[in-house]
Amino acid sequence: MNKRTLAISGAAIAALGAAAILLPNANANPDETSGAKTFSSPAAVKLARSLASDLGDNGAGWYYDGANRQLVMNVMDQDSAESVRAQGAVAKVVQNSMAELKAATETLSSDASVPGTAWSIDPVTNKVQVTADRTVTGAKWATLTKATGQMEGTVSVKRSQGEFKKFDGGEAAQPGDNGDNGDNGGTGAGDAAGDAGAAGGAGDAGTGAVGGAGDAGTGGAGDASGGAGDAGTGGAGDASGGAGDAGGGGDAAAGGLDGGDAIFGGGARCSLGFNVSVDGAPGFLTAGHCGNESQTWSSDQAGAQQVGTVQDSQFPESDFALVMYDDATTQASSTVDLQNGSTQEIGRAVEASVGLEVQRSGSTTGVSDGTVTGLNATVNYGNGDIVNGLIQTDVCAEPGDSGGAMFAEDAAVGLTSGGSGDCTQGGETFFQPVTAALEATGAVIGAGDGGAGGGDAAGGAGDAAGGAGDAAGGAGAGNAGSGNAGSGNAGSGDTGAGDAGAGDTGAAAGAGDTGGDMGQSLN
């Protein structure tokens, strides 16, 4: 055997030896997904909670991989990884325990409480992700980097081009000012609020209908309602006025206000989050920094249609407010405005999980979607306004969207707090968990079976009035607002006006076949 052969053999032996050493590690790859099952998001959440309970301190968080529909569990050792894989989840052996990550957030709170910063636990990277906005410069940046530099491997820092701020808006900024959203329901509601409010006698109807029809019926309804107000002079106007009174029965009933609809108070415009009930009494949740702005809230900018009074408002630390409807007979629907003429029913509340796909509805930018990116987030808005326990997302939002609903299909998830960026540039947005707000206030999502039905009927009435807006406005705008629309459906709405919130009859009366069908579909 020559030297060349020996050299080759030696290299081969060395390679085999290395393979023998590496092979067990390869088989125990913590990111291995072989044999992993696919789950729906709700099923993944259910399994994750069960596994997390079983793992105890050996678990280090989890997330849902939506692209592959897999549950990823972070674990601290191989034995835990094997038990996770046996349940069909992906096991990822990580360096940082949950206790270490939580300790890092506490260190940040004590040593790096700098305005313009935010942080959250990110199970995808197994680190605490710190974000500094564009205002964090000079001494503030030095303070932040000094604190984070001592936690290398546990904390990572990134910059945001935007500026962290609460997303409440001034009254001058109307829903739908956001350009491309001009055709969505937010704009319709705004235009309806403006047009209908200016429409005099029929405008009262319009205002009731706007609070109800404009918001529930969205763009077409609002404009149509406004149109019905404009066109509905004389007999048609009176009929529309009746319908308005119905929707405005309405006035205290918020005419069927949905999650995401505009609310006004104390010079601010915010968005309604979710309708709730407390011991059977109707109310709604919105942002706490909105609740601090005003004790009373209206569905119109002028304040003529007051809908509720703040019962509890928490900000900072948390960011939620409970507003109780002034009319205790209000039957508000458990729905979110999708800003396209339809609504999403909300029947439950769930805790957020990283990777959860969500949508947000707000009165400025309408509906936007995205993903939960972090939990237990802290954001420092400046001036001592520091909020903890938030949900971090990549969903966009803008001033006026504060308080608006974040949801996943039929589940309530969060209330819009604030963030950086906008719906043109993107950015980070933070949400108050709905589950925490419900627990603190004793509220429940929806108004119970009867209330939900009634609410849907009022939403029927709202949608019906919206439908009436469509019917009245559609036919009204189409047929001069006096013929079939004004005296037909809207007049029939006048007959059912006092009972419009009362369910199928009012709803059907308010909107004719459209409202009847809507009432049926929602009930």
More confident site: 469 or 369: 369
Q: Which of 499, 502, 503, 522 lies closest to 243, judged by CA?
A: 499
512 pLDDT higher than 60: no
The answer to whether the predicted template modeling score (pTM) of the entire model surpasses 0.95 is no
Q: Which amino acid, one-letter code, is at 6?
A: L
Q: Which of 255, 263, 268, 274 lies closest to 298, judged by CA?
A: 263
Among 289, 299, 385, 487, the one annotated catalytic: 289
Q: What is the mean pLDDT of the chain?
A: 74
Q: What are the tokens at 67?
A: 């692209």
Among 177, 230, 300, 319, the one annotated catalytic: 319
Q: How confident is the model at residue 171 (pLDDT cuts 50, 70, 90)?
A: low
More confident site: 332 or 223: 332
501 pLDDT higher than 60: no
Top-level class of domain 98-159: alpha beta
Residues 6+ apart with CB under 8 A from 177: 190, 364
Q: Note the pLDDT of residue 35.
A: 82
418 pLDDT higher than 70: yes
Q: How far apart are CA 123 and CA 120, in angstroms?
A: 10
Continuous segment of H or E residues that includes residue 351: none
The DSSP bridge pattern shows strands 306-314 and 343-345 to be: unpaired
Mean pLDDT of 332-346: 96
CB 500 within 8 A of CB 492: no
Mean pLDDT of 468-472: 35
Residue with tokens 């003529």: 304
Mean pLDDT of 181-191: 38
Mean pLDDT of 451-469: 35
380 pLDDT higher than 90: yes
Q: How confident is the model at residue 215 (pLDDT cuts 50, 70, 90)?
A: very low
- Strands of 238-365 (E only): list them: 262-265, 268-271, 274-278, 281-286, 296-298, 306-314, 320-325, 335-337, 343-345, 348-349, 357-362
- pLDDT tens-digit readout, 263-307: 999 999 999 999 999 999 999 999 999 999 999 999 999 999 999
Domains of the chain, residue spans: 30-94, 98-159, 161-523
402 catalytic, yes or no?
yes
204 catalytic, yes or no?
no
Q: How confident is the model at residue 170 (pLDDT cuts 50, 70, 90)?
A: confident
- pLDDT tens-digit readout, 126-135: 999 999 999 9
Residues 6+ apart with CB under 8 A from 250: 208, 211, 212, 244, 461, 500, 501
Q: Which of 421, 429, 361 lies closest to 390, judged by CA?
A: 429
Q: What are the tokens at 393?
A: 């997302």
Q: What are the tokens at 384?
A: 């001592």
CB 295 within 8 A of CB 206: no
- pLDDT tens-digit readout, 75-134: 999 999 999 999 999 999 999 999 999 999 999 999 999 999 999 999 999 999 999 999
Q: Note the pLDDT of residue 34.
A: 65
454 pLDDT higher than 70: no
Least confident of 220-224, 255-259, 326-330: 220-224
CB 60 within 8 A of CB 75: yes
Backbone angles phi, psi at 73, to 5 degrees: -110, 125
The topology under which CATH files domain 161-523 is Thrombin, subunit H (2.40.10)
Asked if residue 399 has a cis previous peptide bond (ω within 30° of 0), the answer is no
Mean pLDDT of 306-327: 97
497 pLDDT higher than 50: no
Q: Note the pLDDT of residue 220.
A: 38
319 catalytic, yes or no?
yes
142 pLDDT higher than 90: yes
Q: How distant is the alpha carbon of residue 303 from its chain centre?
A: 25
- pLDDT tens-digit readout, 13-57: 444 344 333 333 333 444 556 689 999 988 999 999 999 999 999
Q: How many of the other CB atoms lie within 10 Å of CB of 232?
A: 34
Continuous segment of H or E residues that includes residue 59: strand 59-65
Q: Please check whether the two domains, 30-94 and 98-159, share a CATH topology.
A: yes
The topology under which CATH files domain 30-94 is GMP Synthetase; Chain A, domain 3 (3.30.300)
Among 334, 402, 417, 420, the one annotated catalytic: 402
Residues 6+ apart with CB under 8 A from 380: 113, 114, 115, 116, 117, 118, 164, 386
Determine the Cα angle at 522 with ends 521 and 523, to 5°: 95
Q: How far apart are CA 512 and CA 490, in angstroms?
A: 9
Q: Which of 137, 142, 185 lies closest to 163, judged by CA?
A: 137
